């Protein structure tokens, strides 16, 4: 048997989209049974936040017994880059995180919500796994970006994800105008996200800066009770601004200029 044959895999494990806000829901109401079964058997994890990963595994354990007691499961956090710096990570740190896979253990990579490495940390670890010759395998799960895009009625054939916009008003307004011009020129849907407690602030900024004819979709709490998704022109949003009743629910913002 070759050394490669006994190596483990890096599994990309989707988390729920509720950021812990819907703990009353069973994890099986939000994720497929394959994800639950795979998560239950894994004893090695790399997480965006170890506390969030433990909370996820507690929800999994309600449905399927874990392979080991939670305290015995190894959970290591992804390195956090300094604020404002590019997310460069020392390759030695990544090698350390992948070491269990080289010893034959499968490793789960999980972020705080949705798919790891998509609008979340983890891409560098995935790249390092490829470079090390490890099998990388994504498990099927929800991505708030794709669900919101599908439900928006905007252009799903051409789109761009901007991530988080600047928090200072002038910088944010300039960037939004630039993205709106790109949207108009390319007929490209623009997608952005924000920390849940700042959803109302971003919505207000978009409604103020975008042109009245631009269509703006807000998808809040996708897959969750009380979630909603509405697409209106900016002019219509100005007549009836959105209400964010739950400051813990994540939202996705999408716009398409006419």
pLDDT block averages, 10 residues each, the chain of length 258? 71 88 73 94 96 95 95 93 58 92 96 90 94 95 93 97 92 97 97 94 97 98 89 98 88 96
Q: What pLDDT score was predicted for residue 248?
A: 83
**What are the C-alpha distances in Å from 97 to residues 1, 77, 91, 133?**
25, 9, 10, 15
88-140 pLDDT, tens digit per residue, is 567 888 999 999 999 999 999 999 999 999 888 899 999 999 999 999 999 99
144-256 homologous superfamily: Tetrapyrrole methylase, C-terminal domain (3.30.950.10)
DSSP string, 66-85: -SS-GGGSEEEEPPPPPTTS
Ranges for all domains in the chain classified under CATH 3.40.1010.10: 3-138
Strand partners, 233: 215
Kindly report the CATH number that applies to the domain delimited by 3-138.
3.40.1010.10
Find where tokens 């939670």 sit.
70
Count of residues making up the chain? 258
**Distance between CA atoms of residues 166 and 179, nearest Å:** 13
Q: Name the 3-class secondary structure at 185.
A: helix
- Show the tokens assigned to 249: 């629910």
Q: What pLDDT score was predicted for residue 22?
A: 65
Q: What pLDDT score was predicted for residue 1?
A: 41
Ranges for all domains in the chain classified under CATH 3.30.950.10: 144-256
Find where tokens 């390319």 sit.
186
Residues 94-118: b if buried by 16+ CB within 10 A, e if exposed = beebbebbeeeebbbbbbbbbbbbb
Q: What pLDDT score was predicted for residue 21?
A: 63
């Amino acid at each position: 048997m070759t050394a490669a044959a006994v190596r483990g895999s890096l599994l990309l494990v989707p988390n729920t989209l509720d950021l812990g806000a819907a703990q009353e829901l069973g994890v099986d109401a939000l994720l497929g049974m394959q994800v639950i079964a795979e998560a239950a058997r894994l004893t090695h994890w790399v997480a965006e936040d170890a506390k969030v990963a433990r909370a996820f595994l507690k929800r999994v354990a309600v449905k399927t017994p874990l392979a080991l007691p939670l305290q015995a499961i190894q959970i290591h956090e992804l390195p956090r880059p300094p604020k404002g710096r590019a997310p460069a990570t020392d390759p030695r740190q990544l090698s350390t995180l992948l070491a269990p896979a080289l010893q034959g253990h499968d490793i789960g990579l999980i972020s705080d919500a949705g798919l790891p490495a998509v609008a979340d940390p983890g891409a560098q670890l995935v790249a390092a796994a490829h470079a090390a010759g490890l099998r990388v395998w994504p498990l099927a799960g929800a991505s708030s970006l794709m669900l919101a895009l599908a439900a928006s009625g905007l252009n799903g054939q051409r789109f761009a994800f901007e991530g988080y916009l600047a928090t200072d008003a002038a910088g944010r307004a300039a960037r939004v105008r630039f993205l709106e011009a790109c949207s108009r020129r390319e007929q490209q849907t623009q997608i952005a996200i924000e920390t849940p407690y700042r959803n109302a602030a971003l919505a207000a900024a978009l409604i103020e800066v975008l042109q009245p004819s631009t269509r703006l979709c807000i998808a809040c709490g996708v897959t969750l009770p009380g979630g909603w998704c509405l697409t209106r022109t900016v002019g219509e949003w100005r007549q009836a601004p959105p209400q964010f009743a739950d400051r813990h629910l994540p939202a996705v913002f999408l716009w398409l200029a006419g």
